[in-house]
Structure formats: structure tokens, C-alpha cells
Amino acid sequence: MARTLGRRSSWAIAGLVSLTGAGGAVAGTYYQPLIYGAPPIVYSYGAAGENARMPMSLTDTAPTAVEGEVSKDGVIAQHLLRVDQARVLTSPVQGRFREIPAGTALARVEVAGSANLVVWCDLRANTKWNSRGAFECLTDTKGAGAFDQGWAGVSDYYFAAAGFNVVSAPRTLTSKGTWREAKPEEHPTLLLGYKWCDGDGAAKPARFARALQASGDKRWFVPGVCASGATAPLGGGSFDLPPLKVATSAGAAPSALHYKVEGRLPPAPLLQPVLSGLADLSAPPAPKIDRAVAPPAAELSLKPLVPAGAAPVVVAGDIAKGQPFFTVGVRHGVTGVLKQEVRGKGWFFDKALPVGQPVYGVPMAGASETGLVWCAPRQDDKPKGKSPTRWAAACLPQNATQANWVEAQTAMMSVNLSWFYGSRTTNALDVERGPIDLPPMTLSYVFAGWSEQGSLMLEVRLDWGEGPQLLRALRVAPGADGVVTVKTMDGVIAVKRVGDAAQAQTLKPLLAQADVVY
């Protein structure tokens, strides 16, 4: 996480929502406003993985950079990757921040959720500072050979690696874009290689880790962490980048290595993130990673909120805008107390959390860091500014040596964290896990109206005694029959339109101890 602590960054919980119209093609999506018509460019993290992925395969093209000299930031053993499925635009489409010209090949991207949404994204290099990481994605909702809907795609790694890969905010296109299936040679390509990402090769061994480069972008990025790679012996020798073997010796230039790579990565589908509602792909075992950098998978499967207290209730009858149609009692699923003081420092900032401070954990995963983010809810003596509650929370995303002090948007459960230049850093956390004493909470799904397209506008809210506080704003498309289905706690709730109001009905009973979706 060292690369994100000093710049504009964001952690966001994602991939938890399983809301879909019956038979509809649109998963639950944000309807929050976008900045200047394009997604904000942030580093973000989502619970238990990503919520979009792009199937790709290693080709049988011979690898390059297999022998020669390499220095720090150089990339060896470069293999060609090709997107598995693509479509070519035959008419231009005006996107949110740039036009997609006719002839552009769009890559298939799968979106998590039971709706099995598929969009087709423009992967042309986007290196502008105000839109880096933002992509235009399209879909043909009617299967009529014309894209009629645009989506905002945001990805650190061109959807080609585990990280922040999000597709959200659908809109109707002002003019449709016709398309045809792409020929194999037209599918977008990337390079996969091994980057010298740490060490100087003299005092400290050179470390090589998998890296990706998109066509038209000069950057090589390392998905995950450099620590997942392998080191070259000081003074020369052989090492493995399974299934590759690399022989090294001192290079002619200072701080360089001469290398020769034996073997190649076999042509095969690339390992893909596991997404809710999407099938896992078989793959060889992942390389071992330092546990101080990446925690075990069990940490990421922990549930931040679990059922407790009041049983789930589906409200019958007409529901007016602003009223809940589903409620359930919940508590924090991961809790503990601080074993040492945590002090945050920054410009005009000096705050501390004492020993014994209660904290709750939110499992998060993303582009370069994976782990449990601890948040410390604190009750103030009086409301500050325009805050509607007396509670606030400091959340502390961290790496092995330090953390960032970030004020949470919602005190008792944080679904989005952002920090900017000059962020407030703290010492690393030491947490003793165990029960803590916090107010009982109620989670609710609130009817927030109907969109022009007939989608349900839904707000997920959390109340700990100071009124329901917004966690998420979503819209959920109806099925062919006009009814929206909302899935949670292993049950199904049907919501149908009655004028400007709504009516909810339980289609499948909710189980009291099943996972709450929020």
C-alpha cells in the first residue's frame, strides 16, 4: 500500500449486493452522481474481491525479452494476452468523456451478480490525468445488433487483473451503436511479463513479479504486490518464475543483470477473480505471498454485518417514497479492542485512539492491498457542524508499517473511504479480537422512488438509534413482467409499482441467520 498512502486514494466495499429484476439484464447499480460526467479516478477496494472481470487467454505467440540485459523496472519474459471475446463498433458512439469511433474493438466484461450482466468495454489507452482508469462500456439490452445502453467502467488494470474493477451507472445512449462480432486478430491484446520491481541487484536481490501492459499504454503495472514475485541471487545464479527458469549473471552496465529465460507460459485461459454469481475458472495454485502483506483468504470471507436482534420483516401493503419495505436487526461480525494507542498526524491534525478503544473490521481487497480495515466508532459530546449523529468513526486502512486515519462516511459501517494528498498517517494497529459494546442496529431497504425506465430506486440504511443513515443508493431493474426482485438472507422479495408507490411481497421466505445483503 506504500504507493497509495501519499496520493488521492479510496477504499470501497463492493460486490455485496445481489439485487436484480426477475429475468432482467441489469444488476443493482449505484445512482450516485458522477464527477464531471465520468467516474472519479481513485484507488478502491471491495469486500471479498472484485465485481467485474474480463476473460482473457495467453496466446501461442512466442514470448519476447527472453535473453539480454535488464535493470530496475525492466520487464522480462513478455507473453501476449488476447481478450477471449470482442465486438467491433460499426458506427461511432459518444461516451461520457470521449467518442468511441467506428472500428473500435470492445472487450467482453462480466459483471458480478445473479443478473449475469455482460458489457463490452473500450480498452483504448486512457492516460489523461482526469480520466485515467475510466472506460466506456456498452451493452445491447435487446440483442438487436445495436448498443443502446452505456455504463461507466472503472479499473486500475484495464479489467485484466484482480483489483478495483467496477461497472456501474447505466444510461440510455442518445444514439445507438451498431456492432459486429470481432475477428480473432481484432481482439484487444495486452502483454504479461515479469517486472524487476524491487531490490537493486547489488546490496539487495532483484525481485521479479508478474506485470501487465495494455496496448497504447507505456506503463507496466504489477497486480497485487511485488512481494509475490521471486528474487534473483546476488552475484548471479538461477531462480524460478514457475513454470519459467531464469539464469542470471552480472550485466555489462552498472546495476544491470544479464538474463536468459527457459520455458514459456502455456497458452491457456488466464486466472480470473471469483465473482458472486459467476463460475470459478480452474487454475494452478497461486504463488505464496508474505502473510504480512496479504492475509489468508479466511480473513476476506468474514462478514462485516451479521443478523442479530430483530428478525427480518417484509412490510406488506403500499409503501410510500422514503419508507422501508424490509428491516432486520444486525450487529458487527468482526470486532475487537486496540491493544496500544493509535495516533494520527498530519497538517493541522493530531488525534489519538486510546488503548481499549472498540473497533469493528471490514474485509476489503483491491489493487495492491488486501486485508481487514479496522474502524473505531466514537461518540461525541455534541454534534459537530451539520452532522446528523453524535457518532463518528475513524477507519484505518493499513500496510505492514503504518495506517491512514480516514473519517468514515457512516460511523457504524463504512462502505466507502477516500483520502487525498497529505493524508494523515498513524502507527500500525494491534487489535485484540473479542466482543465489544455498541448500540444495537437495524438494517433497512428503503423505497426511494421509481426511475424513468421503471427501475426501483433503493436505499440501504443503517440505524443505531439516531435515525437511518444511508449506506448505499442503488437502482434495480425490473423483469419482463415489470416486477423487481430483491434477494437477501437466502430469500426473495418482489417489489411492484402501484402508481408512485410500491408494494412488497415475500416470494421465498427469508432465513433468520442467512447472510444479509447490503
Residue 51 has pLDDT above 80, yes or no: no
Q: Check residue 302 and give its pLDDT.
A: 79
Q: Which H, E and C letters describe 403-461, residue by residue? A: EECEECCCCCCCCEEEECCCCCEEECCCEEECCCCCCCEEEEEEEEEECCCCCEEEEEE
Q: Check residue 364 and give its pLDDT.
A: 64
Please tell me which residue, 179 or 458, carries the higher pLDDT value. Answer: 179
**pLDDT tens track for 342-399:** 987 766 677 889 999 999 998 764 434 556 889 999 887 555 555 566 888 888 887 7
Please tell me which residue, 232 or 31, carries the higher pLDDT value. Answer: 232
Q: Check residue 1 and give its pLDDT.
A: 30
Q: Check residue 417 and give its pLDDT.
A: 64
Q: Check residue 423 and give its pLDDT.
A: 54
Residue 488 has pLDDT above 80, yes or no: yes
Q: Check residue 385 and give its pLDDT.
A: 56
Cβ neighbours of residue 114 closer than 8 Å, sequence gap 6 or more: 18, 20, 27, 276, 277, 487
CA–CA dist 391, 406 (Å, integer): 15
Cβ neighbours of residue 511 closer than 8 Å, sequence gap 6 or more: 489, 490, 491
Cell 473500450 found at: 122
Of 465, 477, 460, nearest to 415 by C-alpha is 460
**pLDDT tens track for 1-21:** 332 333 334 444 433 333 333
Kindly indicate the confidence band of residue 33, based on its pLDDT and cuts at 50, 70 and 90. Answer: very low
Q: Which H, E and C letters describe 136-178, residue by residue? A: EEEECCCCCCEEEEEEEEEECCCCCCCCCEEEEEEEEEEEEEE
- Coil, helix or strand at residue 194: strand
To the nearest whole number, what is the mean pLDDT of the chain? 78
Q: What residue ranges in 223-367 does DSSP mark as E strands?
A: 230-231, 237-241, 244-250, 256-262, 305-307, 313-314, 318-319, 324-332, 335-338, 342-346, 349-353, 358-366
Please tell me which residue, 79 or 518, carries the higher pLDDT value. Answer: 79
Q: Check residue 419 and give its pLDDT.
A: 53
Of 504, 66, 33, nearest to 258 by C-alpha is 66
Residue 504 has pLDDT above 60, yes or no: yes
Q: Check residue 4 and give its pLDDT.
A: 30
Q: Delimit the domains of the chain by residue range.
A: 9-54+87-175, 56-81+187-262, 290-518
Across 131-148, average pLDDT:
86
Which range has the worst mean pLDDT, 242-251, 271-280, 325-334?
Answer: 271-280
Q: Check residue 344 and give its pLDDT.
A: 79
Across 155-163, average pLDDT:
78
Please tell me which residue, 153 or 64, carries the higher pLDDT value. Answer: 64
Share of the chain above pLDDT 90, in %: 42
Cβ neighbours of residue 46 closer than 8 Å, sequence gap 6 or more: 12, 13, 14, 15, 164, 166, 364, 365, 366
**pLDDT tens track for 165-190:** 778 778 889 889 999 999 999 999 99
